[in-house]
Structure 1
Amino acid sequence: MSLLHKVFNRIRPERKDREYMTYNHIDLYFWSPPSGGLNFGDHLSKIIVNKVLADHNYMLEEEVKQSRRLLALGSVLHFAKDNDVIWGTGVNGKVDLSEHTYYQLDVRAVRGPLTRNFLLERGIEAPAVYGDPALLIPSLFPGRFKRTSKKDYVVVPNLHDMSIVQNSNAENIVSPLSSWNRCISDILEADFVIASSLHGLIIAEAYGIPARYLRLSETENLFKYNDYMMGTGRDEIEPATSLAEALKMGGMKAPLFDSQKLLNAFPTDLWD
């Protein structure tokens, strides 16, 4: 990560959708591209947290006894501050260790054991509750999204791999800059998902669609992919390096995941 990128990430202002809440509230942090818009996987944080809260008769934008900040999805742990609440968040392997400036966190769940070990080594307690909250989409939205088997495969690039895919001859591309519901629907049209987007893989596997990680560049560190894999009962990820190789390799081993355990770890007590 460049020095300019580090500085920008640290000094950029909080999103304006929170500026009017002058009362005690829970501020949900999630990453969005500096150029504007929303990145599918990161935006799912807001969607999922809002849905879990609604199922408990709460809303994100309501007054609570004590203001706190919640990080709930994505490789954004380096944005955490002391006393932040962590639910399903993971370490971003391409971020320098110096970017992690917190000393104590309220950890309810993490993406996988690599993130948990990272926290334990820093003296921060973290339960062995694993899983990316995007895996909860089928149970949170029962019947909303359905597999349609319209295409043999789709390709879901990571945001930073978009130009590579667009300049290739790949077909059936699902843009991570599309709306969250469009991305999910487009992924569910496929019988096989090839993705460099972590959440492209996660959504596919959440709905039982075989998926294969396609490593298109060295931009993304393998840490987050391995963290997710190990958090769902598997070994390190085995990437394909081309579309043809991905099709030949087929899907990865199916994940093992306890959705209720992750859901039970959601910090509803912040609103109680």
Structure 2
Amino acid sequence: MLTRIRSLLEPAPKPQTPVAAPLPYRHVELFHWRPADGSVNFGDHLSHVVVSRVLGQRGLTLDDQVEHSGRLLAIGSVLHFAQDDDVVWGSGVNGKVPESAFTARRLDIRAVRGPLSEEFLRSRGHRVPMVYGDPALLVPHLFGGRFRPSAEKAQVFVPNLHDLRLVAGRPDVVSPLAGWNTVIAEILKARLVLASSLHGLVIAEAFGIPARYVRLSETENLFKYRDYYYGTGRTDFEYARSIPQALEMGGMPAFDFDPRPLLDAFPWDLWR
């Protein structure tokens, strides 16, 4: 398995600088990736949205002063940014980043995106519970009836940020640079979601909408997609090479998601 995982990892340009929290007192910093130009990428920003919503269920916020400072990594392929003593809840490995970029020796891991990330971390000596799931799958459970599928469009396409230029001008494109709520609302208008954005797929499937990964370019490594699908019990991962092929294939088989293990693994202790 480790050999297979390493084969999915490949060198990449140096990652962009992470955004640091400016609070001057002890708090829990939620790390999530953001483009250097100041824009907000839908999937990565969901980390802030989901963690804030989970905390809000107990009247807590990311701005709370806490007894001990900490750092949390949730949604995103951001484990190469991890530092010693960070807490991991649902993050995954980024296949574009060389293995040498992973330098953390002590991590407090509560959940990971999928079994490929688990195996990678175990191979480096980390203890990893078998709790899988991208926290974006929790959106329907966290927001009640705010978002509802309408099935008013045959399909929409949600590109990865790096593929956006390849589909410019298509009427069915949902830009990942729009507000998170707008992206979700547009996804839920479709009867079939096609996407090269991982979280376009995750959100569609979280709401029970058939979805299919469309590989328009080689920019993104397959690791994160396999990790997500394997984590939902679907090892028969198949993707399309074009939008017409994806329309012919239709959505991947559905899966059952129990939100409780992932919610139970949330690191409430950081907010003592």
TM-score range, shorter chain: over 0.9
C-alpha displacement of 1:69: 0.3
| Partner AA of 1:216 in structure 2 | L
Residues 34-73 of structure 1 show CA distances to partners (whole Å, capped at 9, x for unaligned) of: 1221000000000000000000121110100000000011
Q: Which residue of 1 aligns with 2:247?
A: 247
Residues 11-36 of structure 1 show CA distances to partners (whole Å, capped at 9, x for unaligned) of: x3644xx22x2111000000011122
1:1-272 equivalences in 2 (<5 Å): 5-6=13-14, 9=16, 12=17, 14-15=19-20, 18-19=21-22, 21-166=23-168, 170-272=170-272
CA distance, structure 2, for counterparts of residue 2 and residue 133 of structure 1: 27
CA distance, structure 1, for counterparts of residue 256 and residue 133 of structure 2: 10
Secondary structure of 1:43's counterpart equals helix
| Partner AA of 2:73 in structure 1 | L
Secondary structure of 2:88's counterpart equals strand
| Partner AA of 2:234 in structure 1 | R
CA distance, structure 2, for counterparts of residue 93 and residue 72 of structure 1: 17
Residue ranges of structure 1 left out of the alignment (5+ in a row): none
Q: Which residue of 1 aligns with 2:4?
A: none
Query: TM-score, structure 2 length as denominator?
Result: 0.94
| Partner AA of 2:134 in structure 1 | D
Residue ranges of structure 2 left out of the alignment (5+ in a row): 1-9
Residues 67-86 of structure 1 show CA distances to partners (whole Å, capped at 9, x for unaligned) of: 00000110000000000000
Residues 91-122 of structure 1 show CA distances to partners (whole Å, capped at 9, x for unaligned) of: 00010011111111000000000000001000
Q: Does the CA contact (< 8 Å) of 2:32 and 2:78 recur in 1?
A: yes
- Flag as ranges the 4+ runs of structure 1 deviating above 3 A: 12-15
C-alpha displacement of 1:236: 4.6
CA RMSD of aligned residues (A): 1.4
CA distance, structure 1, for counterparts of residue 141 and residue 229 of structure 2: 20
Q: Does the CA contact (< 8 Å) of 1:233 and 1:257 recur in 2?
A: no
CA distance, structure 2, for counterparts of residue 150 and residue 72 of structure 1: 32
CA distance, structure 2, for counterparts of residue 56 and residue 37 of structure 1: 30
* Identity level (%): 56
- The total of aligned residue pairs comes to 263
CA distance, structure 2, for counterparts of residue 186 and residue 139 of structure 1: 18
Q: Does the CA contact (< 8 Å) of 1:155 and 1:171 recur in 2?
A: no
Q: Which residue of 1 aligns with 2:7?
A: none
CA distance, structure 1, for counterparts of residue 71 and residue 236 of structure 2: 31
